[in-house]
Amino acid sequence: MAPGRCSTWMNQNCNGGDSAIEPYLVTHHQLLAHAATVHVYKTKYQLANVSQSKQSTTAAAQVKRNRSRRFEKTKEQGEVKEKKNATKAIVANLTVELLNSREESRPEPFTTEDLEADIF
């Protein structure tokens, strides 16, 4: 309830309003004000067909742009993954060479395909 407002059914000394109906009156007038605002906007400021067709064209362009960005991002991620795998293969082969220089047995060298499972 609003400050200073009350109902006689709650307090016999009250003479400042009716809290039983005032919230409904406020809501009613808020809805009327909103309806009037929408009416003014639609009649004076909204371009009927031009803005709607422009919105659909803009939305289609945005979807296309987002798909392109997603493709580029995926492509970049793939390139980064390939570089990481190539680096892992180089490190693994250097490790094998170091081990082979100390021992006689020679394991097979690693390839980038072997390292795609992220075994390190």
- Annotated domain spans of the chain: 22-117
Higher-pLDDT residue of 114 and 30 is: 30
Q: Is residue 100's pLDDT more than 70?
A: no
Q: Region 65-74: what's the mean pLDDT?
A: 75
For the ranges 30-34, 85-89, 111-115, the lowest mean pLDDT is seen at 111-115
pTM metric for this prediction:
0.35
pLDDT confidence of residue 30: 92
Q: Is residue 105's pLDDT more than 70?
A: no
Q: How many CA atoms lie within 13 A of 14 on its CB side?
A: 14
DSSP H or E run through 86? helix 48-102
Which residues, 6 or more positions from 8, have their beta carbon under 8 angstroms from its beta carbon?
14, 15, 18
